[in-house]
Amino acid sequence: MPDMLIRPGLPALAYDHRPGTGPTIVFLPGYGSDMTGGKATMLDAWAEANGRAMLRFDYRGCGASEGVFGEATLDDWRDDVLDIIDGLTEGPLLLVGSSLGGWVMLLVALERAERIIGLVGVAAAPDFTEWGFDEGQRATLQADGVIVNDSPDYETPEVITLPFWESGQANRLLDGEIAIDCPVRLLHGLEDRDVPPSIAFRLGRALRSADVQTLLVKGGDHRLSGPRELALLRDTVAGLTRTA
């Protein structure tokens, strides 16, 4: 059973915190995902084998955490991460964000710049409430307050609420400079049907950091969870922890 971070007046957050050396690796799951996914558990196993500090957790309304999924906004999940890292960790952090977690990763890095030594985005999806919805979907959100997106990459439909969409629109980053200066690595599949590879290029250009590398994976889909793709993620994280 995971441990729980108790927060008065807020949903408790499930987490698994592994002590170790170096910067604490913090994994930020994608939309509707949790800390039991393949990328998170692979990194945790690597951290255990190498004596590295690692923190996995579930956003409110996801996985083993308290809360209702459909009631959470992007701001809520950003604040969940801030509560987790402020309450459970000390010293430098290396954030790894998958899909929507890549957007949350950027928002957290802007809030805790002094602690972040590196970022790794895996199919990072900043601003997806802007580029990921057509006019018909936007109209449905306004009329019904919710929209359901089917994706071949997921077993269950993706449910987006109007409050979440509005929260995303208020936190867009790609149209201006993103004031992040640490090393950033962006891994992106060329066959990603959910987040176009062009988003990785836009993000790379928007980041203020002079140390940004975008790695495109031929044949890679949105999940990037095959053996070679997981090895790439592991090696990318290991490289940043060595240079920290």
- Over 160-190, what HEC string results? EEHHHHHHHHCCCCCCCCECCCCCEEEEEEC
For residue 239, what are the contacts with CB-CB under 8 A and spacing of at least 6? none
| Residue 17 designated active-site | no
Question: Token pair of 62, please?
Answer: 């996801």
- Let me know: does 69 contact 93? Beta carbons within 8 Å: no
Say how many CA atoms lie within 13 Å of 134 toward its Cβ.
2
94 φ/ψ sector (left φ>0, alpha ψ -120 to 50, else beta): beta
Q: Which residues pair with 116 in a beta bridge?
A: 93
Residue 41: its pLDDT value, please?
98
Question: Mean pLDDT for the chain?
Answer: 95
Give me the percent of the chain exceeding a pLDDT of 70. 97
Confidence (pLDDT) at 15: 98
Compute the distance between CA of residue 216 and CA of residue 189 in angstroms, rounded to an integer: 6
Query: What confidence category does residue 150 fall into, taking pLDDT thresholds of 50, 70 and 90?
Result: confident
Q: Which amino acid is at 2?
A: P
Any catalytic annotation for residue 188? no
Residues 118, 26: Cα–Cα separation, whole Å: 11
Q: What is the pLDDT of residue 183?
A: 98
Question: Of the residues 99, 127, 167, 194, which is catalytic?
Answer: 99
200: left (phi over 0), alpha (psi -120 to 50) or beta: alpha
Q: 106: helix, coil or strand? A: helix
Beta bridge partners, 119, equal: 95, 184
Take residue 171 and report the two structure tokens written for it: 């936190």
Share of the chain above pLDDT 90, in %: 92
pLDDT at residue number 12: 98
* Active-site choice (44, 127, 188, 222): 222
Question: For 96-108, what is each residue's pLDDT tens digit?
Answer: 999 999 999 999 9
Q: Please say if 222 is a catalytic residue.
A: yes
Model confidence band, residue 242 (pLDDT cutoffs 50, 70, 90) = confident
Q: What is the pLDDT of residue 123?
A: 98
From the candidates 44, 76, 79, 192, which is the catalytic residue?
192
For 22, 23, 39, 62, 179, the CA distances from 110, given in Å and listed in that order, are: 21, 18, 24, 24, 7
Q: What is the mean pLDDT of residues 162-182?
A: 98
Pick the CATH number of 3-126+176-243 from 3.30.70.360, 3.10.20.30, 3.40.50.1820, 3.10.580.10: 3.40.50.1820
The pTM of this model reads: 0.96
pLDDT exceeds 60 at position 155: no
